[in-house]
Copies of this chain bind each other. A is one copy, B any other.
Amino acid sequence: MYRSHTCGELKATHTNTEVTLSGWVQGVRDKGFMVYVDLRDRYGITQLYFDEEQTAAAILERAQKLGREFVIQVKGKVQERASKNPNIPTGEVEVLVTELTVLNSSIVPPFTIEDKTDGGDDLRMKYRYLDIRRNPVKESLIFRHKVAQAVRNYLSNQDFIEVETPYLIKSTPEGARDFVVPSRMNEGQFYALPQSPQTFKQLLMVGGMDKYFQIVKCFRDEDLRADRQPEFTQIDCEMAFVEQEDILNTFEGLTRHLLKEINGVEVDKFPRMLYDDAMRLYGNDKPDIRFGMEFGELNAVAQHKDFNVFNSAELVVGIAVPGGNAYTRKEIDKLIDWVKRPQVGALGMVYCRCNDDGTFKSSVDKFYDQNDLEKWAEVTGAKAGDLICVLSGETNKVRAQLSALRMELAERLGLRKPDEFAPLWVMDFPLLEWDEDTERYHAMHHPFTSPKPGQLELLDTKPGEVKANAYDLVLNGNEIGGGSIRIHDKSTQAIMLKLLGFSEEEARAQFGFLMNAFEYGAPPHGGIAFGLDRLVAILGGQETIRDFIAFPKNNSGRDVMIDAPAPIDDEQLTELSLKLNLKS
């Protein structure tokens, strides 16, 4: 037995108990005649005490030679500390060591194993096993486990069945790029790794397994942006014999349960917003509603004056920045530079100060008088002391730009509080979106999403206007889940696939098994999938997902710790009936 207790549990009540502890040496304070060692394990830190009078000389000497991250086992007696440390749970006691065994030595770690480490990101990733010893990473992984357990228990208690769907499936050209897996036994053929278990969960509905979920890895071979991983985890869910309302209620229940169980936060019924309203009011289909700063569309009050920039714009839209009138001219100029950065892409920004005395001072006073500006304030909801920021241009672009500005300012103003949770359903997404590159419609959600009742007819005439039975769950400005009511009849599915540019033959080759399944009594069904990595990060009050993933990959899709991917043997390639065909 390596330990009788963990390093996180000894308290004053254990005084005089003989204990055995094992762990890592966090640090050694050698005062010559006395030595203090902080011993760390997953559960905490306990102080070990050695002194000339009470410790055998050989043991004291060995203690003095301990290095950081040595693995040791000690036996000894718990005693109250001379000077207590109220900051840690074990701070009342220490262990007077009578036996010391070095279980393993350690060379000096490349960074400090502290909450605030001196290690940069690259180093931490390369030595992730050391990084995991640090509290912030360790606690994030434990937090993730707790969330996953809470999800599983909640859904199981509601009669959901977790069903494992296969990982070696079939490549489909729709959606993102697949990772593929060459098959040795089926020469020249490939499996694909699932981007999601979408078709399998629909087949489970056809199979009568009317409440399904799975916490499952999914894969997308996309060029990686910051905070995106080639493999990621979904909470994948599907229900049969349900309407949209049933699904919203069920998963609002799950989310509310998590907020309560994990964060201790009680949340009211989640508000719902139409996609069109989200775009109009926040320029964004995943608005952060922890704060206001809603968009005010200014076309009616700002156009038809002599300001051509606005007159020629499709949309003129502004937000009121609370207290923004306090910004200096220099600060405002910086803000203008900020929106002009290529990442945001605005051509410029008009602003209007709302003075405390009720007067206005804008950057376009040449064109707009006080009456005009008062209307701007009305529309954007600006009060005395605020700053109105106005952008103009092509509707979609200008909304995205103003949304970026809104989020940036909220961040600066401290309005995005990590311990405040504002969930929101965004509803009635468009069914299709036009892709400029390929000049055809793509499914906005996926090709199995059903149009809203009564809109099937529009598909032929105005496909871009058709709304879908699709919904996203947004939390604090992040999409944490998205889903839809699916098409469950073969003819609608055929129309959809045709509209998405599939020939009948292609449709049969790719989705034949689903179309076949729909011949045999498919029930009405729908579902949702949550991104677990993101959900966990947000519940944990963090912006980035990386510390909630044990072994993440970098932006080139590499695991720098194990150095993967890597070349493979020619023999292995030959067995797979493959040859390299390098571009360079």
Give me the interface of A with B, judged by CB distance under 8 Å: 1-3, 22-24, 40-42, 69-71, 103-107, 109, 127-133, 138, 141-142, 144-145, 148-149, 152-153, 156, 161-171, 173, 177-193, 199-200, 203-204, 206-211, 217, 219, 221, 223-224, 230-231, 233, 241-243, 246, 488-489, 512-513, 517-524, 549-551, 553, 556-559, 561-569, 572-584
What 15 new A-B contacts, CB under 8 Å, besides A169-B564, A191-B564, A573-B581? A22-B523, A71-B523, A104-B521, A105-B521, A127-B520, A131-B207, A145-B156, A153-B153, A164-B549, A169-B559, A183-B565, A185-B224, A189-B566, A190-B565, A578-B581
Contact yes or no, A520 B145, CB < 8 A: no
Contacts of A562 in B (CB 8 A): 169-170, 199, 513
Contact yes or no, B185 A556, CB < 8 A: yes
Contacts of A246 in B (CB 8 A): 1-2
Contacts of A42 in B (CB 8 A): 208-211
A210 to chain B, nearest CB (A): 5
Contacts of A182 in B (CB 8 A): 180, 182
Q: How many copies does the complex hold?
A: 2
**Of B186, B241, B489, B576, which one neighbours A557 at CB under 8 angstroms?**
B186
CA distance A284 to B325 in the complex (A): 83
Q: Could you list 5 examples of A-B contacts with CB < 8 Å?
A: A103-B523, A107-B519, A129-B206, A133-B207, A513-B563
CA distance A192 to B233 in the complex (A): 18
**Of B152, B208, B566, which one neighbours A24 at CB under 8 angstroms?**
B208
Contact yes or no, B577 A578, CB < 8 A: no
A411 to chain B, nearest CB (A): 30
Known: A168-B564, A171-B566, A186-B558. A550 touches B580 (CB 8 A): no
Contact yes or no, B557 A520, CB < 8 A: no
Known: A129-B206, A243-B2, A517-B129. A187 touches B582 (CB 8 A): yes
Contact yes or no, A168 B179, CB < 8 A: yes
Contact yes or no, A163 B141, CB < 8 A: yes
Q: Which residue of B lies closest to A215 (CB)?
A: B164
Contacts of A2 in B (CB 8 A): 241-243, 246, 524
Contacts of A580 in B (CB 8 A): 188, 577-579
CA distance A521 to B108 in the complex (A): 10
CA distance A583 to B211 in the complex (A): 46
- Which of A131, A199, A564 has the largest number of chain B CB atoms within 10 A? A564
A387 to chain B, nearest CB (A): 43
Contact yes or no, A69 B168, CB < 8 A: no
Contacts of A1 in B (CB 8 A): 243, 246
Contact yes or no, B520 A189, CB < 8 A: no
A114 to chain B, nearest CB (A): 14
CA distance A482 to B138 in the complex (A): 27
5 closest cross-chain pairs (CB), A and B: A132-B207, A106-B521, A170-B564, A189-B565, A2-B241
A510 to chain B, nearest CB (A): 10
CA distance A22 to B576 in the complex (A): 48
Q: Which residue of B lies closest to A189 (CB)?
A: B565
A541 to chain B, nearest CB (A): 20
A506 to chain B, nearest CB (A): 12
Contact yes or no, B181 A104, CB < 8 A: no
CA distance A520 to B69 in the complex (A): 7
